[in-house]
């Protein structure tokens, strides 16, 4: 539809002048043909300073062609119209034009590009926009422009106003077209404003009429004396009211009893469904347990140290609401303990009423543990009929059949904030409680408050340190079950041994080298973060490494002592790590390598160096995989994949791989000895790392 009319290009006088010129063109005896587009573009680009003079000349030519004498008023009107047309020149505009904005809007929505159709009126032009579906947006009839481009831009402005009447797109338009937008918008809203003004005027008149009326006199009604027999009628009314109240109470009691009966029936039906589901799950679990896959899973569990806690854990959960499992890293508590709780319920036919959540402080730990447990049970995590699933932020794999859900601590807190809290949950397993992060401590606090209200809820805490006694006291003497860690033959090789194996020599321009011509000075000074120890060097004699002890390394070879003497121990030696990887591959056996690094920047640096080198860039021999919380779940999952024969896996990770997850086939660990730790100064409320 056409946009509401307005003053021609922002000025009523200029619009009147255009109308007068249009009338002269239409009444002329000989109409001048329209020039071609190229000639007209050249003729229609005069400077803004000469616009008025050229407009008056055009008016004179039009008058002479029509056989009339020049009218001074017409010449002035033509000059005003030319000045108004000059405002629409976009040669100096650096922003987006209305036509560009309109086309981009349709392109972003993958819709056909709108078509702008021009209409020639003598020497002036009008335009309209034809959009998808045949809808047409036209300008007001009194709007004409000197150039085709100006008419097209004005038509695009009208289309934008028609599409987005409530959005302030006019702020992005050139000044002249911004004025067009505001005028057309005002004209379009004029009927509504007039209607609102009429309603306000009617309301004001009504209020004035009410205020002008004289006040009505107040007549106090005399009190009526009680008639004879009124006392007897009051007693009858009271008796009737009493009967009504009694009937209401009886109706309310009957409705409440009916609701309680319905609730009992509903709970009985739920218990019956849970029993049937429990029997079905029990039969399926027994069949799986007696099969080859179940026997293999049983043998694998018996090989783990945590398997000795299966019977004590079952007894503790029967007699206590809270229990604590303390096991060293590698004991299998994170994967096996939740399965023990699930299988105890399945074996007793209670699987239909059992729902276990196991919280992890990190998303990668929750997803990897869920996949590992589902793999042990020969299921697809979150699949149809699977008992194991996981839920983390922005990702969930769970179904109605899920009975063991691995989730992050934040998801468990959201469940506690629901009403009722932890509805349908029978067991809560809180893993890695020894990390004592804010969310875990808050979760423990809320669970302790909830336990008296949910006597059937069971809570199990799992820790990898000896702090279990602290948690036991917090939960009123909860029993502590301890499992020993798996004892692998571990051999430690210090830095001097690594230097001897690899024959590493610090180059003169190595960033890890401290020249012997420097003296190191140490000083302590106080800042807002506390006491800070600073080291700096100046020219002079002495050793480069201030921590080097000649007597300690007296038995080492000369090249080892020289490297230690000049080594900067505050920098990660990437060259040494790469040489050590080459030594492991050439001299030692098969097995994956885990390299601990403090942060993502160090992981990226070493990853680029390894992949870009000729020795480690062969994908048929090496798979270098980063592991960090900023990576996508698919990239994180690659570190748990089994490599084909002949391919050695190298995992570059932070300390997340130290306790939260377990990677199979890790035989060699390289630890430069750096880690990032966040600290908080409560006095100044400042975090630092």
What does the pLDDT look like over 276-317, one tens digit per residue? 888 999 999 999 999 998 899 899 888 888 999 999 999 999
Which of these, 367, 353, 361, 342, lies nearest to 425 by C-alpha position? 353
Dump the DSSP string for 368-402.
Answer: HHHHHHHHHTT--TT-TT-SEEEEETTEEE--TT-
Count Cβ atoms within 10 A of the Cβ of residue 25 and give its class: 0-12 exposed, 13-18 middle, 19 or more buried. Answer: middle
Query: Which top CATH class is 8-185?
Result: alpha beta
What per-residue confidence (pLDDT) applies to 27? 41
Q: Identify which has the larger pLDDT, 95 or 39.
A: 95
Rounded (5°) CA angle 216-218-222 = 150
Which of these, 619, 664, 660, 624, lies nearest to 640 by C-alpha position? 664
pLDDT band, very low/low/confident/very high, at 665 (cuts 50, 70, 90): confident
Are 506 and 579 a contacting pair, CB within 8 Å? no
What is the value of pTM for the model shown? 0.57
| Res. 331: pLDDT tops 70 | yes
Tokens of 490: 């571990």
- Mean pLDDT across the stretch 362-382? 91
560 φ/ψ angles, rounded to the nearest 5 degrees: -70, -45
Q: Does domain 572-689 have CATH number 3.30.43.10?
A: no
Tokens of 587: 């001299």
What per-residue confidence (pLDDT) applies to 14? 54
Task: Determine the 3-state secondary structure of 649 from DSSP.
Answer: strand
Q: Identify which has the larger pLDDT, 291 or 86.
A: 291
pLDDT band, very low/low/confident/very high, at 211 (cuts 50, 70, 90): confident
> CA dist 383 to 44, 345, 352, Å?
70, 21, 18
What per-residue confidence (pLDDT) applies to 227? 55
Portion of the chain with pLDDT greater than 90, in percent: 27
CA distance 35 to 29: 18
Count Cβ atoms within 10 A of the Cβ of residue 559 and give its class: 0-12 exposed, 13-18 middle, 19 or more buried. Answer: middle
Tokens of 492: 């430690």
What per-residue confidence (pLDDT) applies to 511? 83
**Domain residue spans in the chain?**
8-185, 285-483, 490-570, 572-689
**Alpha-helix runs per DSSP H in 291-405:** 292-302, 310-319, 333-347, 363-376
Tokens of 329: 């890293």
- Mean pLDDT across the stretch 366-394? 92
> CA dist 363 to 257, 309, 359, 660, Å?
47, 27, 10, 10
Give the count of alpha carbons within 13 A of 381, CB side only.
21
Q: Identify which has the larger pLDDT, 167 or 344.
A: 344
The tens digit of pLDDT for each residue in 8-60 reads 444 555 555 555 545 544 443 333 344 444 444 433 443 333 444 444 444 44
- The second-level CATH assignment, the architecture, of 285-483 is 3-Layer(aba) Sandwich (3.40)
Those residues whose C-beta lies under 8 Å from the C-beta of residue 605, and which sit 6 or more positions away, are 574
Residue with tokens 């041994």, as numbered in its chain: 497
DSSP annotation of 436:
-
CA distance 577 to 12: 80
Q: Do 285-483 and 572-689 agree at the fold level?
A: yes
CA distance 116 to 127: 7
- Mean pLDDT across the stretch 615-621? 88
Q: Identify which has the larger pLDDT, 38 or 268.
A: 268
Residue with tokens 């001897």, as numbered in its chain: 500
Portion of the chain with pLDDT greater than 70, in percent: 79
The tens digit of pLDDT for each residue in 567-578 reads 888 888 899 999
End-to-end Cα spacing for the chain: 63
DSSP annotation of 200:
H
Are 445 and 414 a contacting pair, CB within 8 Å? no
Give a three-class secondary structure readout of 510-532.
CCCECCCCEEEEEEEEEECCEEE
For residue 260, cis peptide bond before it (omega within 30 degrees of 0):
no
CA distance 8 to 145: 9
């Amino acid at each position: 539809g056409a946009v509401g009319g307005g003053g021609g290009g922002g000025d009523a006088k200029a619009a009147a002048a255009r109308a007068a010129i249009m009338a002269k063109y239409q009444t002329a005896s000989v109409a001048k043909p329209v020039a071609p587009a190229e000639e007209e573009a050249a003729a229609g680009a005069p400077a803004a300073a000469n616009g008025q003079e050229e407009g008056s000349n055009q008016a004179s030519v039009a008058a002479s062609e029509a056989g009339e004498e020049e009218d001074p008023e017409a010449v002035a009107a033509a000059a005003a119209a030319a000045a108004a047309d000059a405002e629409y020149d976009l040669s100096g505009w650096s922003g987006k034009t209305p036509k560009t904005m309109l086309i981009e809007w349709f392109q972003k929505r993958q819709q056909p590009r709108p078509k702008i159709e021009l209409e020639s009126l003598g020497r002036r032009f009008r335009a309209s926009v034809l959009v998808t579906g045949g809808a047409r947006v036209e300008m007001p009839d009194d709007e004409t422009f000197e150039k085709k481009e100006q008419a097209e831009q004005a038509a695009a402005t009208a289309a934008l106003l028609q599409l987005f009447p409530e959005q302030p797109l006019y702020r992005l338009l050139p000044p002249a077209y911004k004025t067009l937008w505001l005028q057309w918008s005002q004209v379009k809203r004029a009927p509504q404003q007039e209607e609102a003004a009429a309603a306000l005027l009617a309301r004001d008149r009504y209020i004035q009429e009410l205020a002008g009326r004289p006040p009505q006199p107040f007549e106090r009604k005399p009190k009526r004396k009680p008639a004879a027999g009124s006392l007897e009628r009051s007693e009858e009314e009271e008796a009737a009211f009493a009967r009504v109240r009694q009937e209401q109470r009886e109706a309310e009691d009957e409705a409440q009893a009916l609701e309680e009966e319905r609730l009992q029936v509903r709970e009985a039906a739920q218990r019956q469904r849970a029993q049937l589901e429990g029997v079905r799950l029990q039969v399926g679990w027994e069949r799986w347990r007696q099969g080859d896959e179940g026997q293999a899973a049983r043998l694998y569990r018996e090989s783990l140290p945590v398997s000795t806690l299966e019977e004590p854990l079952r007894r503790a959960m029967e007699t206590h609401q809270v229990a604590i499992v303390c096991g060293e890293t590698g004991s299998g508590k994170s994967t096996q303990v939740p399965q023990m709780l699930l299988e105890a319920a399945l074996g007793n036919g209670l699987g239909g009423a059992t729902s276990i959540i196991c919280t992890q402080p990190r998303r990668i730990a929750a997803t990897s543990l869920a996949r590992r447990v589902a793999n042990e049970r020969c299921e697809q995590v979150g699949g149809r009929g699977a008992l194991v699933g996981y839920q983390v932020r922005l990702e969930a794999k769970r179904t109605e059949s899920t009975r063991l859900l691995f989730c992050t601590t934040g998801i468990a807190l959201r469940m506690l904030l629901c009403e009722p809290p932890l509805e349908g949950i029978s067991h809560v397993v809180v893993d890695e409680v020894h990390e004592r992060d804010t969310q875990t401590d808050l979760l423990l606090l809320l669970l302790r408050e909830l336990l008296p209200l949910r006597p059937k809820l069971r809570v199990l805490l799992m820790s990898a340190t000896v702090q279990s006694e602290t948690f036991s006291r917090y939960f009123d003497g909860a029993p502590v079950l301890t499992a020993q860690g798996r004892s692998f033959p571990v051999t430690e090789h210090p830095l001097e041994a690594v230097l001897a194996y690899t024959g590493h020599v610090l180059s003169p321009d190595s960033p890890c080298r401290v020249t012997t011509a420097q003296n190191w000075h140490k000083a302590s000074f106080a800042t807002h973060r506390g006491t800070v120890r600073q080291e700096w060097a100046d020219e002079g004699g002495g050793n480069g490494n201030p921590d080097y002890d000649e007597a300690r390394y007296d038995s080492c070879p000369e090249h080892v002592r020289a490297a230690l003497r000049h080594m900067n121990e505050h920098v990660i030696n990437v060259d040494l790590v790469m040489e050590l990887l080459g030594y492991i591959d050439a001299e030692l056996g098969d097995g994956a390598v885990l390299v601990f690094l403090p942060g993502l920047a160090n992981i990226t640096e070493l990853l680029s160096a390894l992949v870009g080198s000729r020795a480690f860039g062969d994908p048929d021999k090496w798979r270098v995989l980063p592991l960090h919380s900023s990576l996508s779940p698919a990239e994180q999952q690659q570190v748990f994949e089994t490599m084909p024969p002949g391919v050695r896996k190298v995992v570059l990770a932070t300390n997340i791989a130290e306790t939260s997850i377990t990677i199979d086939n890790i035989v060699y660990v390289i630890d430069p000895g750096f880690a990032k730790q966040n600290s908080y100064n409560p006095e100044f409320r400042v975090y630092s790392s």
